[in-house]
C-alpha cells in the first residue's frame, strides 16, 4: 500500500472512499446540488461552453486553427494580418471601437486543441487565453460529428487594464467590463461556429479546391 495515501486521506477537503463513507459522499453531493445557481457562482472565475457540431472533427480543427476564420465566426474580430513576429497577428476588435487585438494561435493536431493567446492594444503580453478542444462525437456521443469545448479563465487583468498607455484615445470600455456577458457572447459565437461548419459540411465546402474560409483563401 502506498504510504503517502495515509497523508492524502488526512488532508482537509480530500474525500476518498477510504476516508469518506458512501452515505457521507451522497450527503455532500446533495448539499452541492442546487435547483438554482447564481450567474457569478457559475461563471465568476471560469467561462466554459460546449456544443455538438455536425461536422467531422478534423475539419472543425482545421477551420479553428486558421486565424483568418475568426473573421467569420466571431462577432467582432476582423482583418488579421501578420504582426512581424513569429506567428503573431494583429486585427481589429470592433467591440472596442478602434481597438487592435493581437493573437497567436497555438494548435495541436494530435490532441485537436486550438488555443488563442490574445490581448487588446499590445502584443508583448498575450494574457487573454481562449482554450478550445475538438472531440470526435463518435467517442463521446456515439454519432458522427464533433463536440467543441471552449473555456476562458478570469485573468486578473480583466479587472484592470495593465497597459493603459497603449489604449486608443477616448476608448471608454475595457474588455474585462464585459466578463459578466462572456457566457452569452461566447455562446452566440459558438452558435455561429456551429451554423457555419454545418453549412460547410452539408455543402461539401471543405473540398474540391474551395477556399478554407468563405471570405477567401489563406
pLDDT in tens, the chain (218 residues): 566 667 888 889 888 888 889 999 999 999 989 899 999 998 999 999 999 999 999 999 999 999 999 999 999 999 999 998 799 999 999 998 889 999 999 999 999 999 999 999 999 999 999 999 999 999 999 999 999 999 999 999 999 999 999 999 999 999 999 999 999 999 999 999 999 999 999 998 875 334 445 443 33
Cβ atoms of 176 and 159 within 8 Å: the answer is yes
pTM, two decimals, is 0.87
Q: How far apart are CA 218 and CA 208, in angstroms?
A: 16
C-alpha cell at 29: 453531493
Structural domains present in the chain: 45-202 (3.30.530.20)
**Furthest-apart CA atoms within the chain: distance in Å:** 65
Pairing between β-strand 88-93 and β-strand 99-108 as defined by DSSP bridges? antiparallel
Q: How far apart are CA 143 and CA 145, in angstroms?
A: 7
In terms of Cα–Cα distance, which of 163, 193, 165, 192 is closest to 176? 163
Cα distance between residue 68 and residue 214, in whole Å: 10
H-assigned helices in the chain = 4-9, 22-32, 39-43, 57-65, 70-73, 137-140, 182-202
Amino acid at each position: 500500500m502506498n504510504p503517502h495515501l495515509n497523508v492524502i486521506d488526512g488532508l482537509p477537503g480530500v474525500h476518498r472512499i477510504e476516508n469518506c463513507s458512501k452515505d457521507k459522499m451522497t450527503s455532500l453531493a446533495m448539499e452541492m446540488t442546487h435547483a438554482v445557481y447564481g450567474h457569478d457562482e457559475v461563471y465568476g472565475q471560469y467561462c466554459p461552453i460546449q456544443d455538438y457540431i455536425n461536422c467531422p472533427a478534423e475539419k472543425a480543427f482545421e477551420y479553428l486553427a486558421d486565424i483568418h476564420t475568426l473573421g467569420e465566426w466571431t462577432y467582432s474580430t476582423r482583418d488579421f494580418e501578420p504582426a512581424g513576429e513569429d506567428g503573431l497577428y494583429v486585427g481589429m476588435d470592433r467591440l472596442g471601437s478602434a481597438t487592435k487585438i493581437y493573437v497567436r494561435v497555438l494548435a495541436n493536431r494530435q490532441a485537436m486543441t486550438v488555443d488563442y493567446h490574445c490581448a487588446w492594444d499590445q502584443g508583448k503580453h498575450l494574457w487573454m487565453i481562449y482554450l478550445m478542444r475538438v472531440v470526435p462525437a463518435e467517442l463521446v456521443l456515439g454519432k458522427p460529428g464533433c463536440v467543441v469545448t471552449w473555456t476562458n479563465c478570469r485573468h486578473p487583468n480583466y479587472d484592470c487594464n495593465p497597459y493603459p498607455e497603449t489604449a486608443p484615445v477616448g476608448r471608454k470600455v475595457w474588455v474585462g467590463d464585459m466578463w459578466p456577458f462572456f457566457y452569452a457572447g461566447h455562446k452566440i459565437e459558438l452558435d455561429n461556429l456551429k451554423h457555419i461548419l454545418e453549412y460547410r459540411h452539408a455543402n461539401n465546402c471543405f473540398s474540391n479546391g474551395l477556399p478554407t474560409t468563405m471570405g477567401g483563401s489563406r
